[in-house]
Amino acid sequence: MSDAWQPLVTELDRWHQSGKKVRFWLRDDDAIEPSSALDRLLTLSDQHAVPACLAVIPKFTGKELANYLEGIKTVRVAVHGWAHEDHALPGSKKIELGGERSEAVILEELRQGHERLSQLHGERFVPVLVPPWNRIDPALIPHLKSIDFEALSVFGPERPSAIREINTHVDLMNWHGGRCGHDTETLAQMIIDRLKHCHDHGGVVGILTHHLVHDQQAWMFLDELFSMTGSHPAAEWRDIKSIIEQSE
C-alpha cells in the first residue's frame, strides 16, 4: 500500500490508544440488476467481511436481483427513491423527491418503493430511504415515518431531523472533476476529517460507492481500504441493520 494511507493509519492508531473504535458502514448506490460490476463489489466486500447496503431503484428492479443476492449473507437493500428521475423545477438542481410534483404523489411512490423492495428482499430489506442525488425536499421528511421508513441516508453531516439520519460522508467518486475516482490521499483525508468529527460528537463513517461507474482507482481504493481497516484493531465495519437497531 502507498504512503498515502499513513496519516489515516496514524489517526486510527490514536483511536486504538484511547480504547475507541471507529465504526464504518458501506452504502453503494443505483443497483437495479446483477452485473459484473456489482459482482466485483460484492465479491470484494464478502472477502473482507464488510457488510454492504445497496440503495436499489425500486421501479426498475425485480426478481433477478433478489435471486442473485439470495446467497450473499452480508448484503442489505435500501430504497433509492422510486425511478431515479429528475423532477426539478427549471433552473434547480436535479431532484426526484421534491421539485415540480406534489408531496402526495412523491410519498405514494416512496410507499410503493418500500413495499416492492421489502417484498422482493425480505430479511435483506432495511427501511432506509436514500434519496437520488442525496437530495430531498425538507417538507417531505416529517412524513417518512408514516410510510414506515425508520431512517434517511443522504451525504454529509447528520442534521437534527424528524427521522434519524444515517449518512454517508466520503464519496469515492469525483463527480465534478471528470467522474473518476478521487485519489487515495484525498479520500484518506476526507475519512480523517470525519473521524475528527466522530471523536468529538460520536457517529459512524459512511463510505459511498457507485459500482456501475468505478474506475481502476476507485476499485483499488476500496480494496486497500478494506484490507487496511480489516487488519486495524480500531476499525470495524457495521451492518446498517445493527446501526438502525442501536440508539444513538
User: Contact at 8 Å (CB) between 148 and 127?
Assistant: yes
Task: Give least dist CB 198 to Zn ion, A.
Answer: 25
- Residue 30, phi-psi category: left (phi > 0), alpha (psi -120 to 50), beta (remainder): left
Q: Which stretch binds Zn ion (CB under 5 A): 93-101, 121-129, 131-139, 154-162?
A: 131-139
Q: Which is nearer to Zn ion, 83 or 107 (CB)?
A: 83
Task: Give least dist CB 55 to Zn ion, A.
Answer: 7
Nearest to 35 by CA among 54, 59, 58: 54
Among positions 82-101, residues that touch Zn ion (CB under 5 A) are: none
Number of neighbouring beta carbons within 10 Å of residue 92: 13
Q: Which stretch binds Zn ion (CB under 5 A): 12-20, 45-53, 126-134, 142-150?
A: 126-134
Q: Which stretch binds Zn ion (CB under 5 A): 128-136, 138-146, 217-225, 229-237?
A: 128-136
- Residue 19, phi-psi category: left (phi > 0), alpha (psi -120 to 50), beta (remainder): left
Does the footprint of Zn ion cover residue 30 (CB under 5 A)? Answer: yes
Task: Give least dist CB 29 to Zn ion, A.
Answer: 4
Q: Which stretch binds Zn ion (CB under 5 A): 13-21, 110-118, 125-133, 222-230?
A: 125-133
Q: Which is nearer to Zn ion, 29 or 171 (CB)?
A: 29
Which residue number has the CB closest to Zn ion? Answer: 29
**CA max distance for the chain:** 53
28 burial (CB, 10 Å; 0-12 / 13-18 / 19+) is buried
Q: Which is nearer to Zn ion, 174 or 227 (CB)?
A: 174
Does the footprint of Zn ion cover residue 29 (CB under 5 A)? Answer: yes
Q: Which stretch binds Zn ion (CB under 5 A): 24-32, 39-47, 200-208, 240-248?
A: 24-32
Alpha-carbon gap, residue 112 to 179, rounded angstroms: 31
DSSP state letters, 18-36: TT--EEEEEEEEEE-S--H
Nearest to 78 by CA among 204, 206, 223: 206
Task: Give least dist CB 106 to Zn ion, A.
Answer: 16
Which residues are 236's β-sheet partners?
23
Task: Give least dist CB 132 to Zn ion, A.
Answer: 5
Q: Which is nearer to Zn ion, 30 or 165 (CB)?
A: 30
- Where along the sequence are the contacts to Zn ion (CB under 5 A)? 29-30, 132
